[in-house]
Every structure is written in C-alpha cells, then in structure tokens.
Structure 1
Amino acid sequence: MSNLDGKSKTMNKKNHLKAALSLATSALLGTSVATAPVVQAKEVDEWQFDSAFLLYSEADRVTAGEGILAGTKTFDDGEILALKITVDALTGASANGAVAQPQAQTFTRPSGNGQYEIAAGETPLDDTFHDTRVQLNAQWTQLIADNLTGSVGGHFSKEYDYLSLGVNGNVAYDFNNKNSTFSMGLSYFQDTFTPEGGIPKPLSSMLVGDSSSPEWDKEFAKTRLGTSEDKTTADVLVGFTQVINRRMITAFNYSYSMVDGYLTDPFKVASVLNNQGIAQDYIYENRPDSRVKQSTFMQAKYHFDDSLLNTVADVSYRYMWDDWGINSHTIDSRFTIPIGRVSYIEPHIRFYQQSAADFYKPYIMDDEVPTGFISTDYRIGEMTAVTVGAKYGVVLNGGNELSFRLEYYRQMPTNAGFVDPDGLNSIDVYPVVEAIIAQVSYSF
C-alpha cells in the first residue's frame, strides 16, 4: 500500500479518494502494489506534479539515466487524471551469457556486423549495448457508485528494437465504515521485439570468423529465424487493504500473470566447453514460449507516537513462484524519520533471494546434446541481492518537496550445484554485480 505517507492528514482525505488510492497501489499498468506510483492530490482542479531524475551505474557495465514527469489532477466530482512520461537511456557493456576463459575469446556482434574480443579471465561483455526508451502512461479514476471506484488506463513504450502497448482496468470497493478496501485489476500487454540482426535460431552456433568474407552474410542468415517476434502478457491482481487503527494500515495482494510468445533473449549465448573447461562453441539460448508467474504480497505501515519522533515504518514481503522453477523472496523496509519540522530522512534496506530456473546452466559440456531449453543468463540463475541506502527530503515554501536518494546495490549469483571443470578453477564463473543508484526528486 502506497497511500499512507505517515502524516495524520492522510486519514482525513475524502472517502472516495481512499478507494482511488487503493487502485493506484494495485494493478496500475501491470505493476505490483510494491512498485505502483502514489496518487497524491492537491486541491480540486489543481495539478500535482512529481519529477525525478535517476542515475543507475553498474561497475564496468551498464549505466542508465532516467527522467520522469508525472502529473495528477483532481476534478470537481472527484475524478482523477494521472499522466506520466518516462525517458531513459542505457549504455555500456552487457553480459552476453558466455563464461570467462583462461584465454582471450572472440564474439560476433548481435547485428552480425563486426566482432569484439574479451581478454583472458574477463566476463564476456558486449560493449555496444545502448538504447533509448520513451514511455507514456495515462490513468483515469472516478467514483462509480457509493463505495465503488473504477479506473482505466493505457501504456505506450518504445525503444529502438522494442514496442510495448498495454491497457488496464481496476475497481475498488470500500466497506466496514471505509476501513477496508477490496480491489481487483486486469491488464493486457502486446509487445513486439525487432532486434538488430534478427531473431537467432535457438541452439544454433554463433558464426565467428572473417566478417568481410563474401559468404559471411549468407552464412549469418542461416542462424536467423526472422526479423521480429511478439509476446503477450495478461495480469490479474486481487488486493485487500485494511486500516487497523489511526496509526497502522496493511495491504495484502495476490497476482497471476500469463506470458506467451517470444521469451528468449536474442543477445544471450551459452558456452560449450570440453572436459578441461575450454570453450569449443557458442550457441544461442532457448527459453520456453510461455510463463505463468504468481505472487503474494504483504505490507504494513505504522506511524509511531511522538516518543519515537513520529517515525513511519514501512515493511513488506513478497513471494513469487513460476512454472520455470524460479521462486523468490523479497523483504523491503523503509523508515521515515522527521528531522525538525520540514525535513526527513528515510533509510532503506531491501533483501532479495531467488532460485534458478529449471533450464538454467552457467555453460554446456560438449558431451551433452544441446536440446530443449537452455539459458546461461545469471538473471534467472540462483542469486541473492541487497540494496542499502537512504533518502533525504525537505518541504519547501508552498508545500513543494525536494528529495535526494542514494543507494548501493549488490547482486551475488551463486552456484546452484554445478561441478565446474578444472580449467575454470581460476575463473570467476559467478561474478558479483555492483551498482550505485542516485535520484533527485521534486514535487510541486
């Protein structure tokens, strides 16, 4: 639940607005209650704007910059219009899935135009990774009947090689003297992927050699299936929000997601190793063409009394499982601590742990026949991750708010029971990923 900001005036909003806020924390644009944006209204017919710039930087890997501008307007009859535009740019080096080797390695770029070399002992990273994304979201919320609020929205996102379109609808019902809210949301997305170089043929070998050869284009085309692929995503989310007392509010969610279509990453390959751990080949990964994900989510916010400086504690837990064999646990906690009358600090700690997909392998041995589903992508492997940081905010003249956030992220892939060949003893097969996250936000 995102509609408790630790201030007593939150509980005194208009009755129908509480249901609207519940909608914003449920299935808005396919996001979970843990990540949905907050809908905060000023006076009727006034716009509330929230802006932010975020910088995400991994050590020696990807760097991303993101700008966000969101506007919310409440009309005379309580209708709420929410608009949001997001622009982000990514650049740097991305892991291609191959395992590090005791000698240098050469790979062909996804486009088929040119090659790149990775030094001995280094994790193979494609340093041509770059993209720009523009995303537009719109949401309309209004009272349908006594204690019943409805919301509809749309989503548009465009990258260089990716197009995503989505719609959603949500309802929220208040009861128990408006201390309880039941909500339900549905969303549907249609995505089209057109990667440069086309769609690789699953399990085919990466073509490596002289790209200036007259036969190169013809041979490269044999490793492609086509130029584009599609996928669809349908999400259902059911939520329940309960006000316990004037200091505490809780939320419980269950979500069900069905994804069908092209789910393979066309930029990932798997190393084929001999018994000494030396790469003999690189083949393109292959993932199932469907995925069903389910999750449960629980959250509680508590506003402590004056003896604890009016601190607001926000603690949540999420459990996710799917038919790929992945399950994950996420514990997220924030503590908003006032500093004087106009500023606050918000320490943040997040812990994440997941198991590996059934078809995940860090590499393939050459005595195995590469059939079925295979992926070496560490993002679907076994891992733990920790985020630690803090946010500082200050309320300016006129009620506007300025805040700064700085966090450290550490992702630690682990061995899910694989016995590495002797040739990899000196190689870091599961490298740690570290990142710094910095954000500046301004609400007016």
Structure 2
Amino acid sequence: MSYSDTKQHNQHKKTNLKTALSMAAGALLGTGAIVHEAKAEILTDWQFDSAFLYYSEAERVTAAEIIVSANKTFANDEVLNVKLTIDSLTGASANGAVVQAQAQTFTRPSGEGQYVSQAGNTPLDDTFKDTRVQLNAQWTQPLAENYTASIGGHLSKEFDYLSLGINGNLALDFYKKNSTISLGFSHFQDRYTPIGGIPKPYASMLIGDSNSPSWHEDFAATRIASGDNKITSDVLVGFTQVINRRMITQFNYSYSMVRGYLTDPFKIVSVLNQAGTAQDYIYEHRPDERKKQSVFAQTKYHFDQGLLNSVLDFSYRYMWDDWQINSHTLDSTLHMPLASRFGKASYLQPHIRYYQQSAAGFYRPYTFVEQVSNGSSEENFISADYRIGAMTAVTLGLKYGFSLNNGNDFSVRLEYYRQMPSNAGFDQPSELANLTVYPVVQAVIFQLSYSFL
C-alpha cells in the first residue's frame, strides 16, 4: 500500500446502497457517482463533504491533504459532483540504493548538490517535496428506465507531473432492480517532466566535484530527455446483487493497459562487488508497457439483531500483471451504532486491511559489477524500488462519527500502517549480513471529515 491507498473519502449516507455499490465499479476507475433515491423535489440543494487527511511515515514521507466534494441533484435525478483535492508532500524517500556499513554520497536529482546517507541507514533522498492540485467532475443521469449513465473528467497538476483524464460508466438494473450490471472505462494522458530530466537507463550516477567546469556537461550525458508521456486505459465490468433485505454483494473484473514512461527517474540501483560493497549506482530501467488485471468481490451484511445493529463490509481483491506481480488484498470494516451523543446518533467503525504482494520479475535489491557489464541492453530491466518488491502490509484503524443537531455529520479516523518488505530469494553478500536490507515502513494516518448541506 502506498500513500495513495490512504486517500479514502466517505460519501454522505443518503446514497441508495444498491445503486452505490453498482456504480462503485465505475468508482474504481474514477467513474463513480452518487445517485440519491429521495424525492427530486427535496434534493435540489448542494451537499458538501470535506476532509483533512494527515499521513506520516516514520523518518520518511509526510503528507497533508484537503478534500472538498460538492453534489447537486437536479429535478430529473441528474447529479453533478465536483471534487477538489489539494495535498502537500515533504520528507525523505528511499532512492533505491542498498544500505552499507559505511557512509554513501549521492547526487541530487537536479544535478545540483549532493547528500550523504550515514553508515547502516537506508539511503533516503531528503529533497522529496511536492504539491498536487486535482479537480474531478462527474455528471450522472438516467438514460431510460433501468439505465443510468455517468461521464466525468479529471485534471491533476504537480510540480513535475500533469494528468488529464476522462471516464464513463453505464449501469443496467433488472430483476426488479435487485441486480445491476455496469460497464466502466477511463483514459488518462500524463506528462512527466522530472527535475533534472529523464535519466539514461543503466547510466552511472555522476558523483564528484559539482563545481568542476565539466560537471554540467557530464551530468547532461546521463540524461536522454527533459520529459516523457504515459497513457493509461482501464475497463471494468461489474455485477451487483441484492441477496435479501440484509445482504448485498458485488463482483468486478478490471483490465488496465499502461504504456509509455513507467520508470521512476529518481530511483537508482546499487552495483556491488562480490563482498557486497557498493562500486557504482546506476539508474533503473522498467518496461514501457504494463498490463494489469484484477478481480474484486465485496459483501455488506446488516446484523439487525445482536452486534448493536452493525453493518459488516468485507472485500477481497486479487491482482496480477505481466510484470509478474500478483497481490491479495483483504479489507473489512464493522459499522457499529452507539447510543446518542451530542444529541444525535454516533458510531464506531473498526477497520483492518491485509495486503500481500510478490516481486516484479525485474526487481533486484542490488546488482553486481559482472551483471551490469553484461546486462545494459534495452531488454534487460532492473529496479530496486521496494514498492514493486515482495511485501506484506497490515492496516489497523478506528473511526468515530456522529451527527450534529443541524443534521450535518462529523467523523475522525486514526489508523496505523505497517509495511514489511521481504527477501524474494536473493543471495545476500557477507558485508550485508548484519545490515537491514529490507527495512519495515510504518505510518500513521489521521483524518477528519465533515459533511454539510
């Protein structure tokens, strides 16, 4: 799980449960919509949802995010949703190099200046900083009896990244509206212009006297372009079924094709001698295409007796791709109503999530001098990015929410995240035997949400 996995914003509970789950097939692609079932004449005002999220990894990345979402329902059950997201990221990010028993010196991605990683520490680039502004708009309307369509647009801008996208979804209700089939799509065009430019795959990181007359010329020789593009196309098919008055299920299949620049320009790979001492650092190289598939199943069950009238939400997702990564995700919440607080009903919602992932076929925590001399061709991919390595992760959290006297809703969420990378079968040189090659990543997630009319 990455930082983006924590960006969850709960919609107001006026949503019809079955319709919401059926349209969630589109939501996974960014095409989700809120379809209210109350009478049109009383749903002509704007409804606002807002959230503040704080995410902090121990000694690494810290993120702060503000989300404001607005819904407008019109007389013919047409719904407009507009959502603005602003987030800021600071801190340090692992650059891909492996830990060493001695201090290591690296050049910053811009080529201006250097930084030092102390002996025994995972090398972290402390220049990580970015601000993102994202705007999504979605229009949903009935097309005919039992047919609902949704179309939307996406704009996201960071310092070095621009993303533009469109999406759409079509849902068909049948069997007395107890069953729904939906088909969603999305298409994104992204432009990446990283500071310092696009590194040449397998090129050695330039390290030395940055004040030398030839420094800028030598640094430029390790670059191949100022920027590059990425295209993402997704298709999702979903089926939702009401089992009875207390249970509803959903099943999705998704296919994603990503083409273009998929390498991380800020990641490097350590080149070791046989003893395990770093001799060089080379820029990683990933394929320019990735095909991903996934299946998803979700069940919601309402305990109307016992368990405090609770609602159990359980889901499972299996993903596989042609990078040889496969993953399993189990996610569960239990919505438990409490006695009245602040004049209105309140609830507790514990959350647990388990994630397990295999490593990409070209993942290497480090490489060796002999392998680099024989493996720098266009077809030999390599990356030491722990995010595509073998890992397990667990999230534990608790959410508390209540309604105010004016009908508005407030909630607070606190979660703990622990990511545990593991060795995917690589032999470890003697000099790394007493060092932490696969460090645990821990994070705290805190969120405040407020919904109002």
Question: What's the TM-score, normalizing by structure 2?
Answer: 0.92
Whether the aligned pair in 1 keeps the contact of 2:15 and 2:37 (CA below 8 Å) is no
CA distance in 2, matches of 1:323, 1:31: 23
Matches within 5 A, 1:109-188: 109-188=108-187
CA distance in 2, matches of 1:101, 1:363: 12
Aligned to 2:4: none
Equivalent residue for 1:362, pick from 365, 368, 372:
365
Whether the aligned pair in 2 keeps the contact of 1:28 and 1:168 (CA below 8 Å) is no
Aligned to 1:224: 223
Q: How far apart are 1:156 and its partner, in Å?
A: 0.2
Aligned to 2:92: 93
Aligned to 1:419: 427
Aligned to 2:413: 405
Whether the aligned pair in 2 keeps the contact of 1:40 and 1:48 (CA below 8 Å) is no
Q: How far apart are 1:294 and its partner, in Å?
A: 0.2
Whether the aligned pair in 2 keeps the contact of 1:29 and 1:167 (CA below 8 Å) is no
Matches within 5 A, 1:210-221: 210-221=209-220
CA deviation map 1:382-434 (0-9, x unaligned): 00000001000011112211000000000000000011000001110000000
Whether the aligned pair in 2 keeps the contact of 1:413 and 1:432 (CA below 8 Å) is yes
Aligned to 1:282: 281
Structure 2, unaligned runs of 5 or more? 1-7
Structure 1 runs, 4 residues or longer, greater than 4 Å off:
4-7, 36-42
- Sequence identity, in percent? 64
Whether the aligned pair in 1 keeps the contact of 2:23 and 2:182 (CA below 8 Å) is no
Whether the aligned pair in 1 keeps the contact of 2:62 and 2:91 (CA below 8 Å) is yes
Q: How far apart are 1:47 and its partner, in Å?
A: 1.3
Aligned to 1:207: 206
Q: How far apart are 1:166 and its partner, in Å?
A: 0.1
- Call closer, same or farther: CA 1:269–1:37 in 2, change over 3 Å: farther
Q: How far apart are 1:97 and its partner, in Å?
A: 0.1
Whether the aligned pair in 2 keeps the contact of 1:390 and 1:405 (CA below 8 Å) is yes
Q: How far apart are 1:10 and its partner, in Å?
A: 6.1
AA in 2 matched with 1:389: G
Whether the aligned pair in 1 keeps the contact of 2:36 and 2:77 (CA below 8 Å) is no
Q: How far apart are 1:141 and its partner, in Å?
A: 0.3
CA distance in 1, matches of 2:281, 2:196: 17
AA in 2 matched with 1:153: G
CA deviation map 1:91-119 (0-9, x unaligned): 00000000010000000000000000110
Look up the SS of the partner of 2:219 in the other structure: helix
CA distance in 1, matches of 2:182, 2:268: 42
- Call closer, same or farther: CA 1:6–1:224 in 2, change over 3 Å: closer
Question: What's the TM-score, normalizing by structure 1?
Answer: 0.94
Whether the aligned pair in 1 keeps the contact of 2:412 and 2:449 (CA below 8 Å) is yes
**How many correspondences in the alignment?**
432
Equivalent residue for 1:353, pick from 352, 356, 364:
356
Q: How far apart are 1:6 and its partner, in Å?
A: 12
Q: How far apart are 1:39 and its partner, in Å?
A: 5.8
CA deviation map 1:247-283 (0-9, x unaligned): 1111000000000000000000000000110000000
Whether the aligned pair in 2 keeps the contact of 1:61 and 1:92 (CA below 8 Å) is yes
CA distance in 1, matches of 2:408, 2:178: 29
Q: How far apart are 1:28 and its partner, in Å?
A: 3.5
Q: How far apart are 1:29 and its partner, in Å?
A: 7.3
Aligned to 1:381: 389
AA in 1 matched with 2:364: K
Whether the aligned pair in 1 keeps the contact of 2:132 and 2:157 (CA below 8 Å) is yes
Aligned to 1:70: 69
- Call closer, same or farther: CA 1:22–1:306 in 2, change over 3 Å: closer
Q: How far apart are 1:83 and its partner, in Å?
A: 0.5
Structure 1, unaligned runs of 5 or more? none
Matches within 5 A, 1:245-256: 245-256=244-255
CA distance in 1, matches of 2:12, 2:73: 22
AA in 1 matched with 2:353: R
CA distance in 2, matches of 1:5, 1:139: 14
- Call closer, same or farther: CA 1:348–1:234 in 2, change over 3 Å: same
Look up the SS of the partner of 2:360 in the other structure: coil
- Call closer, same or farther: CA 1:389–1:403 in 2, change over 3 Å: same
CA distance in 2, matches of 1:39, 1:145: 15
Whether the aligned pair in 2 keeps the contact of 1:331 and 1:350 (CA below 8 Å) is yes
Whether the aligned pair in 2 keeps the contact of 1:262 and 1:289 (CA below 8 Å) is yes
CA distance in 2, matches of 1:196, 1:230: 15
CA distance in 1, matches of 2:56, 2:37: 33
Whether the aligned pair in 2 keeps the contact of 1:25 and 1:38 (CA below 8 Å) is no
CA distance in 1, matches of 2:199, 2:34: 40
- Alignment RMSD, CA only? 1.9
CA deviation map 1:317-374 (0-9, x unaligned): 0000000000000000000001114100000000000000000000001121333100
CA distance in 2, matches of 1:314, 1:323: 31
